[in-house]
Amino acid sequence: MVDTLLFAIFPYVAVALAIGVGLYRYFSDRFSFSSHSSQFLESRLLYWGSVPWHFAILVVLAAHLLAFLFPTAWGVLAGRPLRLYLLEITGMVLGMTTVIGIALLLLRRAKDARLTAVSTAMDWTVLLLLLVQVATGVWIAFTLRWGSVWYLHTATPWLWSLVKLDPQVQYLAALPWLVKLHAVNAFLLIALFPFSRLVHVVTIPLEYLGRAPQLVIWNRARARR
């Protein structure tokens, strides 16, 4: 019963919220799609938290997505002991990087009074849930090896069953609570996506990649005191 609720019903609720509210917000309040940058208030610790976090989490998410979309190819990739080990250790390194990154971002918000003043309850919620997500992910990678292979035979068929509107909860029901928490928390983050700063995920500033660098030039003399 609980498994049905968590792995057959909640994922649809989460995705419906993400798409429905996300679209509503986009068309009704487009300029609120932002990560509400606090870089102006604090930038040093932000760099150490945000940059490693974003690069590492993008690769980790891409790995989860590729193993879901192309399980056969992923199975071939992990089908040799050396490649499997390198794949796993890379995932662990990136995972630990995300844990350190998000912990720094939490710490940064907690210790700086100016940041605490501009932080909303949802900011804290999202940061904490992200910490739970990456910490459980790393813990799974360390203790339930090798996730890059069993994911193909548990999470992948479960996710595809959700796509086909025929949820097969038994794939998740037999797994340890740690994996269940990781899966439910992932959908919780998807559900919170349109209500939080996570909406910035869809505003990918691709034009920045090819844009000419901006030069800041002061052309006025500063008044002497």
Partner 1 sequence: MVKGTSVSIAACLTLFAVFFLPLPLAAQESGQLGADREIAQLAEKGESLFAQKCTPCHAIGGGDRPTGPDLAGITERRERQWIRRFILDPQGIIADDPAARQLAEKYPMAMPDLGLSEAEAEALIAFLAMPTEEEHQAGEVTAPPAAAGTQAGDPRRGEALYIGSTPFSQGGAPCLACHGIAGHGLAGGASFGPDLSAAYASYGAEGMVSMLESMPFPSMEPIYLDHPLTAEESRDLTAFLAEVSGETPRVVGPLARDAGLGALFFFAVTLAFGWHRLRGVRRPLVEKMRNRIGGEPR
Residue 152 is a binding residue for partner 1 (CB under 8 A): yes
The correct pick among 18, 67, 94, 162 for binding partner 1 (CB under 8 A) is 94
One-letter amino acid of 186: A
The correct pick among 13, 61, 174, 201 for binding partner 1 (CB under 8 A) is 174
Site string for partner 1, 17-46 (x = CB under 8 A): --------------------------xx--
The correct pick among 4, 13, 153, 203 for binding partner 1 (CB under 8 A) is 153
Count of residues interacting with partner 1 (CB under 8 A): 48
Tell me if the bond preceding 146 is cis, omega within 30° of 0.
yes
Candidates 27-35, 79-87, 189-197, 203-211 — which segment interacts with partner 1 by CB under 8 A? Answer: 79-87
Residue 97 is a binding residue for partner 1 (CB under 8 A): yes
Closest approach of partner 1 to the CB of residue 53, in Å: 10
Residue 92 is a binding residue for partner 1 (CB under 8 A): yes
The correct pick among 33, 150, 160, 195 for binding partner 1 (CB under 8 A) is 150
Residue 205 is a binding residue for partner 1 (CB under 8 A): no
**Cβ closest to partner 1, residue 87 vs residue 191:** 87
**CA geometry: angle 116, 117, 120, nearest 5 deg:** 75
Closest approach of partner 1 to the CB of residue 147, in Å: 8
3-class SS letters over the chain: CHHHHHHHHHHHHHHHHHHHHHHHHHHHCHHHCCCCCCCCCCCHHHHHHHHHHHHHHHHHHHHHHHHHHCHHHHHHHCCCHHHHHHHHHHHHHHHHHHHHHHHHHHHHHHHCHHHHHHCCHHHHHHHHHHHHHHHHHHHHHHHCCCHHHHHHHCHHHHHHHHHCCCCCCHHHHCCCHHHHHHHHHHHHHHHHHHHCHHHHHHCCCCHHHHCCCCCCCCCCCCCCC
**Cβ closest to partner 1, residue 171 vs residue 187:** 171
Closest approach of partner 1 to the CB of residue 20, in Å: 31
Q: Taking the chain, what is the end-to-end CA distance rounded to the nearest angstrom?
A: 73
* C-alpha 113: how far from chain center: 26
Interface contacts to partner 1, rule CB under 8 A: 43-44, 47-48, 51-52, 55-56, 75, 78-82, 84-85, 88-90, 92-97, 100, 138, 142-146, 149-150, 152-154, 168, 170-171, 173-175, 216, 218, 222, 224-225
